[in-house]
């Protein structure tokens, strides 16, 4: 591959001109990226969570345990494949495949970089793009839940069915909040094309504050901070990741919709979850973090957004978002289902509706720079949203002093057991003694005295 430096943003006219072998190569690259990111993502999650919980992660198979995920995949491939008697065989077989295909398909419209030269062909680092590419991303995200629901229903068991129903209700509630967050991106960028959205975030602006002009970034994570926060929370719920992993809650549903699956089918469900996590991180990067564009101060280098370097910035942003996914899993407890649904319908949805209304009003005002006014309102609104989400709902109770804790103990400063060691009478012993000596049983007496 020839790395000729090109400083050109791809447009819709640049797609559909590549030879068949180049299109095939892009498809293979996108698929390999999803598969390799999944293998490394599982290893990355184990290492990070192990570090957070002060315990070793995988460190025996391969250097730094890098081959542990590959060993686990081979192990699952050679395990016995068990088919439940009550299962619908056709649906049971195809359900994991649906989840994997939908997760991988979304990568086809994600831009990995700008225009580059590959064997003399100037082409964008993206499989394809369409005027409604973001709607394709939403469609893939919505269709992925069918694999979970059908897998839970086709298993012919109670716990998988409950997990599938939870996933469907979860998708309905958080898909609305996610869609409204993307509406704000449409309104600001003026396009639904993913390459167009990345290009729109590359236009910097200057914001006047107290008579002083300062450079303002073009990333929608800052311009549309409330939409970014709500979108990322919705992606965590869409991907069934902790603390929103209720469709597979082991404390309630054994393993949820995957309970009756084994061998490669179980591996496909696990693969789809991690591919979806990486895909949604890539989508979040594209919509809100400038896509493949370099962050400041790397942008001070003129060639930062040209050639093959943008792929490095893109992968760095995706890894940072995957780290946030892992961070949430390692620190937050799982929500109750009623809390999770209430949070989606009564918190995220109303806030998003009000923010869209405010954003529409700002864009209708004339003689005021669009990005400047969005920053002036969006950043305080986002900070207010963060404060609202993390504000304690109950007033913390004051901790008792050491003397109060000592006085509250029934036996002084040392927690001693009762000296008489009296225990309640055993019903079994009482029944046996009553059968042998019914005349000696006195109501309420201790069986040891009989």
Question: Given the structure tokens 């990322």, which residue do they identify?
Answer: 232
pLDDT at 438: 56
As beta bridge partners, residue 124 has 115
Q: What is the pTM of this model?
A: 0.78
Quick one: which H or E segment has residue 237?
helix 225-238
> How many angstroms separate the CA atoms of 194 and 285, rounded?
11
Contacts of 8 (CB under 8 A, 6+ apart): 114, 115
Q: What is the pLDDT of residue 42?
A: 87
* Mean pLDDT over the full length of the chain: 78
Q: What are phi and psi of 115, to 5 degrees?
A: -70, 130
Distance CA 403, CA 282 (A): 55
Q: Residue 332: which pLDDT band, with cuts at 50, 70 and 90?
A: confident
- Which of 219, 26, 31 minimizes the C-alpha distance to 113? 26
Per-residue model confidence (pLDDT) at position 448: 44
Cα torsion 403, 408, 414, 415: sign? negative
Kindly tell me if the per-residue pLDDT of 447 is higher than 50.
Answer: no
CA atoms of 256 and 250, how far apart (whole Å): 7
Contact 117, 2 (CB under 8 A): yes
The token pair that represents 29 in the structure block = 């690259």
Residue 400, pLDDT above cutoff 70: yes
Which of 234-238, 288-292, 325-329, 377-381 is the least confident region?
Answer: 377-381
Give the residue-averaged pLDDT of 294-321: 86
Residue 375, pLDDT > 50, answer yes
What local confidence, expressed as pLDDT, does residue 217 receive?
A: 58
Counting residues of the chain whose pLDDT is more than 90, the rounded percentage is 7
Give the H/E segment covering residue 345: none
Cα 267 to Cα 379: distance, rounded to the nearest angstrom:
42
* Bond from prior residue into 297 cis (ω within 30 degrees of 0): yes
Contact by Cβ (8 Å): 151, 244: no
144 HSE (CA, 13 A, CB side)? 33
- Chain mean position to CA 321: 9
pLDDT band at 84 (very low <50, low <70, confident <90, very high): confident
pLDDT score recorded for residue 282: 92
Looking at per-residue pLDDT, the higher value among 380 and 68 belongs to 68
CB within 8 Å of 242: residues ≥ 6 apart: 328, 329, 332, 334
Report residue 284's pLDDT band, with 50, 70 and 90 as the boundaries.
Answer: very high
Residue 1: pLDDT above 60? no
User: How is residue 131 annotated by DSSP?
Assistant: T
For 337-357, write each residue's pLDDT tens digit: 788 888 888 888 888 888 888
What's the pLDDT score for residue 201?
Answer: 84
Q: Cα separation of 180 and 157, whole Å?
A: 36
Point out which residues pair with 213 in neighbouring strands: 208
Assigned token pair, 125: 């680092």
Residue-level pLDDT at 446: 47
Please give the pLDDT value at position 65: 87
Q: Say if residue 3's pLDDT is above 60.
A: no
Confidence of residue 314 (pLDDT cuts 50, 70, 90): very high
Q: What is the pLDDT of residue 231?
A: 92
Would you say residue 13 has pLDDT above 50? yes
- Percent of residues in the chain assigned helix, strand, coil, to nearest 5: 65, 5, 30
Per-residue pLDDT band at 315 (split at 50, 70, 90): very high
CB-CB contact of 178 with 234 (8 Å): yes
- Structure confidence at residue 211 (pLDDT): 52
Output the CA angle 349-355-360, nearest 5 degrees. Answer: 130
Average pLDDT estimate for 272-292: 89
pLDDT digits (tens, 9 = 90+) for 100-115: 888 888 888 999 988 8
pLDDT surpasses 80 at 94: yes
Half-sphere exposure of 373 (CA within 13 A, CB side): 14
Average pLDDT over every residue of 413-425: 57
Neighbours of 310 (CB within 10 A): 23
For residues 295-300, give the mean pLDDT.
78
**DSSP code at position 400:** P
For residue 243, say if its preceding peptide bond is cis, omega within 30 degrees of 0: yes
Find all residues with CB under 8 Å of 224, minimum gap 6, and list them: 181, 184, 185, 188, 288, 359, 374, 378
pLDDT at 203: 61
pLDDT at 285: 93
Residue 20: pLDDT above 70? Answer: yes
The band of 17, judged by pLDDT with boundaries at 50, 70 and 90, is confident
What are 177-224's pLDDT values in tens digits?
888 889 888 888 888 899 889 988 876 555 544 455 555 557 888 888
């Amino acid at each position: 591959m020839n790395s000729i430096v090109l400083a050109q943003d791809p447009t819709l006219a640049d797609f559909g001109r590549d030879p068949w072998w180049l299109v095939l190569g892009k498809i293979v690259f996108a698929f390999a990226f999803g598969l390799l990111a999944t293998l490394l993502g599982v290893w990355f999650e184990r290492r990070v969570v192990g570090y957070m919980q002060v315990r070793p992660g995988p460190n025996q198979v391969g250097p730094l345990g890098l081959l542990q995920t590959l060993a686990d995949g081979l192990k699952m491939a050679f395990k016995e494949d068990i088919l439940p008697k009550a299962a619908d065989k056709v649906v049971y077989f195809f359900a994991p495949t649906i989840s994997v295909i939908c997760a991988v398909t979304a990568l086809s419209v994600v831009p990995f970089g700008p225009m580059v030269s590959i064997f003399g062909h100037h082409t964008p680092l993206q499989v394809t793009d369409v005027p409604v590419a973001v709607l394709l991303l939403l469609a893939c995200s919505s269709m992925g839940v069918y694999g979970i629901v059908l897998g839970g229903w086709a298993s012919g068991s109670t716990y998988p069915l409950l997990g599938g129903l939870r996933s469907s209700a979860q998708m309905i509630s958080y898909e609305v909040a996610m869609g409204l967050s993307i509406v704000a991106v449409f309104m600001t960028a003026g396009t639904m094309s993913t390459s167009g959205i990345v290009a729109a975030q590359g236009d910097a602006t200057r914001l006047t504050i107290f008579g002083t002009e300062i450079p303002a970034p073009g990333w929608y994570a800052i311009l549309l901070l409330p939409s970014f926060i709500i979108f990322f929370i919705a992606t965590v719920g869409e991907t069934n990741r902790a603390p929103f992993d209720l469709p597979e809650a082991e404390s309630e549903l054994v393993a949820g919709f995957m309970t009756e699956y084994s061998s490669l089918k179980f591996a496909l469900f696990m693969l789809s979850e991690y591919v979806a996590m990486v895909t949604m991180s890539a989508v979040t990067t594209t919509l809100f973090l400038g896509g493949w564009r370099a962050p400041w101060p790397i942008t001070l280098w003129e060639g930062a957004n040209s050639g093959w370097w943008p792929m490095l910035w893109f992968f760095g942003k995706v890894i940072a978002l995957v780290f946030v996914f892992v961070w949430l899993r390692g620190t937050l407890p799982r929500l109750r289902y009623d809390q999770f649904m209430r949070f989606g319908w009564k918190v995220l949805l109303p806030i998003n509706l009000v923010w869209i209304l405010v954003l529409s009003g700002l864009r209708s005002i004339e003689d005021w720079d669009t990005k400047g006014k969005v920053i002036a309102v969006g950043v305080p609104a986002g900070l207010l949203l963060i404060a609202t989400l993390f504000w304690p709902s109950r007033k913390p109770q004051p901790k008792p002093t050491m003397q109060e804790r000592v006085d509250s103990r029934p036996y002084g400063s040392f927690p001693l057991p009762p000296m008489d060691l009296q225990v309640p009478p055993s019903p079994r012993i009482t029944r046996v003694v009553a059968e042998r000596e019914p005349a000696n049983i006195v109501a309420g007496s201790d069986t040891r005295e009989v």
